[in-house]
Amino acid sequence: MPDTVGTATLSATPSAINRSALREPPDVKRWLLWGTLVAASLLPGYMALRLWKQMRTNDEPAKR
């Protein structure tokens, strides 16, 4: 079976498309979008955790 697998080789120079992609600045809008989506998904989880802790402390019997 190993005899049927070819050998991978690298090209001598990257293509023009690859070179231009390396020079492009990072897409700020995309990073802002993903950052906002992550923050928006973590916020309800944080709120639920705080509410759960608050409800748990209120369930303890009152000490007299």
Phi, psi of 50 (to 5 degrees): -65, -40
pLDDT at position 14 = 64
pLDDT in tens, the chain (64 residues): 567 777 777 666 667 777 777 777 878 999 999 999 999 999 999 999 999 999 888 766 656 5
Note the pLDDT of residue 12. 65
Could you give the 3-state DSSP secondary structure of residue 59?
A: coil
Q: What is the pTM of this model?
A: 0.45
